[in-house]
Chain A
Amino acid sequence: MRAALADGRVMAGRYLRHVVRAPEEIVIYFSLPIMFVLVFGYVFGSGMSVPGGGGYREFLIPGVFVMTMLYGIGATATGIAVDVGRGVLDRFRSMPMARSALITGRVTADLARALLETAVLMVCGLLVGWRWHQGIGTVLTAIALLLLLRLALSCVGVALGLATPNPDTVSMIVFPLAFPLSAVSNVFVAPELMPGWLGAVSEWNPISATTTALRDLFGNPGLGSDSWPAEHALLLAVAWPIALIAVFGPLSVRLYRRLGQ
């Protein structure tokens, strides 16, 4: 067990070294949320009004944090698919290391990345006028929620990377998966403004749950909706990731084991 943790740590170090050695990936990776802040915050945002009152950019930023976690699936799945597709996984599996280390290492590295990304986005947010309005404790709770969501999405990404062992296919799957999830949510627009069924999907979307919870915790303007999911956002922001982990964690392990059949 101790050895497995140590192997996982070494493997996490490997993935983090990738970030250092190929910083262009993280630049591309950051450009998307920053672009969303700029495009929606300044271009479309001037034409938007928040139903509950308040500035649109303050409304938008918590959703951008969440969206960034979502798009992290791409990096996770691609990283795993690259390992599976090249011979390096065979080398790992022929060594006396813990076989779980590839997955635990990847997830650990993802969380470290998520922390870095959140920090960078917070600075960006502060620059465009976003603020948190309650104590530092609520900020830390918000960050914990983000990391929990990232952990769940990391499991999804690992499963995806193992199921499609071709890095090119992965990126073709991730975007069509992640984009509707972020668009059909309450990140940009109130679900009430969408057609009925779409609004319902949007209300129950895990992305919406964490976004609403974050708005509440930061004291940012929200939608003021009184629907059940909106009222119980914090509960859903915890329950959704746990459910995803419960499904995709074991699935990842099974897919990983199947590589040796």
Chain B
Amino acid sequence: MTSTIVARGLRKRYRGGRGTTALDGFDLEVPAGIVHGLLGPNGAGKTTAVRVLSTLLGFDAGRAEVAGADVARQPGLVRERIALTGQYAAVDELLSGRQNLILFGRLHHLGRREAHRRADELLERFGLTDAAARSAKDYSGGMRRRLDLAAGLLRRPRVLFLDEPTTGLDPRSRNEVWAAVRGLVADGTTVLLTTQYLEEADQLAGLISVVDAGRVVAEGTPDQLKSALGADRLEVVVRDAARLTDAAAILARITAAEPVVDIDRRGLRVPLRNNRVETLAATIRALQEAGITVADIGLHRPTLDEAFLQLTAHHPTSPSTAEAAAAASSPTAAASPSLTAAAASSPTTAASPSLTAAAAPPSPTASASPSPTAAGSSPTASASPSVGAPVSSSEVGA
């Protein structure tokens, strides 16, 4: 199997005052023709990884290959096969949309005529024909991002680096950019997408690597990452707080697991491995028979937000991580009410054994052990026996 992007043990330390280590053994393998998401809090190393892979930045150790060319030894060849669309729309503010595309086309060594033709073609494709003569500085955020994207496609790149393509865009513009990205992938381009927006990764990415502190800490499909959090959960809210203990006993009996009790919300939460629907029905019946009035009951699948918060919660004392996670999840807040649940539940989960285990470096044995506790503690481990073979945490660390 050939991978379009391969990175092995990349290390990058920024010189100068702070001397921060931005990449610390960064491994990545991206198959051709998919959107691969790089997810992580601010300062996790996502942007550094993209800058290294797109030849903008040198690196200290490791090896990287993009579109069949060695990043360190053949940067010119890499540049011919990639395109980069930056966090801050990288177009010339003064030039018009068309002039921008012609300029970049000429610098891509398309002939004058070909550059003009490609420019008009891309303006058309990205719905910018009417604004073609206006200065890019008068474009709206979404138009500018589309122009930026168009500029990346002049030469039909094999790999497109999309560094936070929708940061600061309104939902409509975001959808426009997403549609454009989907179109690209359908044409065979491989996209490496960095984003803080979990919904974006969920929508676009076939595979996600979660980056934290300069390395990949988990990898898999969005679904794998979600189920990595542990299984789906059965949540019960009882009307009468006095019956909480009784209800907990019933749940424990049916699911053979110890429910987490949330006294303030009069709620109970218990992970479900299998027989989800049967367990739900049995629980409802049992609670009815015991005469416990239920205010709410349901099955909940962990969201990517929760997966993200848990996977990157290595630094309990670091406020920046929490802040970044909060900032990252905010755009999805409008779309998914689950965010409140995720944020609200994190303090309680902190007390539960699963997070403590996740915070510790996952042990290599965890991936082999199918026992519920081990599976629940190591996100990648729990996914591996059931679905495909995401890179296990132990392998990443090696």
Interface residues of A (CB under 8 A from B): 3, 6-7, 10-11, 13-14, 17-18, 21-22, 82, 86-97, 101, 260-261
Contact = CB atoms under 8 A, between A and B. Distances in A.
Given A86-B90, A96-B80, A14 B56 contact: no
Given A95-B104, A96-B80, A261-B15, A14 B95 contact: yes
B84 A91 contact: yes
Contacts of A90: 51, 56, 84, 86, 90
Contact of B92 (A14, A95, A97): A14
Nearest to A25: B94
A109 to B, nearest CB: 13
Nearest to A98: B107
Contact of A21 (B51, B87, B89, B94): B94
A223 B104 CA distance: 51
Contact of A3 (B58, B96, B109): B109
B56 to A, nearest CB: 5
Given A94-B79, A96-B80, A87 B87 contact: yes
Interface string B35-56: 0000000000000000100111
Given A7-B107, A261-B15, A96 B76 contact: yes
Interface in B42-77: 51, 54-58, 76
B58 A92 contact: no
B88 A260 contact: no
Contacts of A88: 90-92
Contacts, number: 75
A7 to B, nearest CB: 6
A91 B86 contact: yes
Contact of A96 (B56, B86, B109): B109
- Most B CB atoms within 10 A — which of A7, A14, A95? A95
Contacts of B56: 90, 93-94, 260
A10 B79 contact: no
A88 B87 CA distance: 11
B153 interface: no
B258 interface: no
Contact of B54 (A18, A87, A89, A94): A94
Contacts of B15: 261
B90 A87 contact: yes
B94 A10 contact: no
Given A91-B86, A94-B56, A22 B106 contact: no
Contacts of A11: 107
Closest 8 CB pairs of A and B: A87-B90, A87-B86, A91-B90, A94-B84, A97-B107, A87-B88, A96-B80, A96-B79
Contacts of A82: 93
B99 interface: yes
Contact of B151 (A3, A86, A91): A91
A10 B107 contact: yes
A95 B108 contact: yes
A82 B137 CA distance: 13
Interface in B1-24: 15
A260 B136 CA distance: 27
B107 A21 contact: no
27 contacts: A10-B103, A17-B94, A17-B95, A17-B99, A18-B95, A21-B94, A21-B95, A21-B135, A22-B94, A82-B93, A86-B90, A87-B88, A88-B91, A90-B51, A90-B56, A90-B86, A90-B90, A91-B86, A91-B91, A91-B104, A92-B107, A93-B56, A94-B55, A95-B104, A96-B80, A96-B109, A97-B108
Contacts of A94: 54-56, 79, 82-84, 161
Interface string B89-122: 1111111100100011011110000000000000
Nearest to B82: A94
Contacts of B89: 87
Contacts of B80: 96
Contacts of A21: 94-96, 135
A261 B99 contact: no
A259 to B, nearest CB: 8
A94 B151 CA distance: 12
A16 to B, nearest CB: 11
A201 B94 CA distance: 40
A89 to B, nearest CB: 8
B103 A14 contact: yes
Contacts of B91: 88, 91
A101 B108 CA distance: 12
- Most B CB atoms within 10 A — which of A22, A92, A96? A96
